[in-house]
Structure 1
Amino acid sequence: MTMTAAPVGPQRYAERYLATLEAPTQARQDIALALEAWGLPQLVDVAKQVVTELVANAVEHTDAATVSASITRTGTESARIVVTDTSRTRPSPGTPAPDDENGRGLLLVDALAHDWGSELVHGGKRVWAELRADGPQ
């Protein structure tokens, strides 16, 4: 009789942060550490940029006291980032003027992620981004 290991759920890391200016930096560091621990260094740079933008948007554009960020390994070279907050307003990419210093975060997420979106959930919303080692498509 051959024994095999029981299937294990996906690798996942989640944390809640106070909605302060330090939250994007903390989330970026935590997400990078999780990806490194899972052997996915090829996703670290993109994940750091995406989670920074999503958490910064939640901190800057909502009145949430806390923001949650999670990352789940979805394949051998892919992961999903989810940021949740208590706002019911879904984000949408703007069209900033060329000299605007703000307003490009979701455009960057759109350019870097394979796919992204948002959905209303009980108590707020979640914004997610799918990352793949082969880049956006």
Structure 2
Amino acid sequence: MTGGKTISENIKKVRASAFDRGHQHPELVFPINNGTVVLAGPNPTSNRAGKTVIVDHGNGVQSYYLHLSQFFCKKGDKIRKNKPIAKSGNSGLGISGIHLHLTIKIYGALIDPERFLDSLRE
């Protein structure tokens, strides 16, 4: 992971609206909260994002998990925050190193995911 603000040893804030969490090996990815999977597959809007899971948490909140290596969910699944949805990876164009890229949107607007940092450290 290059650039950005280092939050902890393996978490880097790459811009105000996203985090990258680096791993030496693929690790389990847990959602930030309960919700419904709206996408589990190739990212339809960006080849760089690779394998992606998008979760709708209700009230306009969606979380995006990018560069995954393996899925444990499919579109339409109801998921719980204590159950893994995927494994981190390095899928996508121009990606160096295994990591999870997390983006959160509320009603389509990017928000700072730092408030969910405890979820990232689990």
TM > 0.5: no
Of Structure 1 and Structure 2, the greater strand share is in: 2
Of Structure 1 and Structure 2, the greater helix share is in: 1
TM-score by length of 1: 0.27
- Report which of the two structures shows the higher radius of gyration computed on alpha carbons: 1
TM-score by length of 2: 0.29
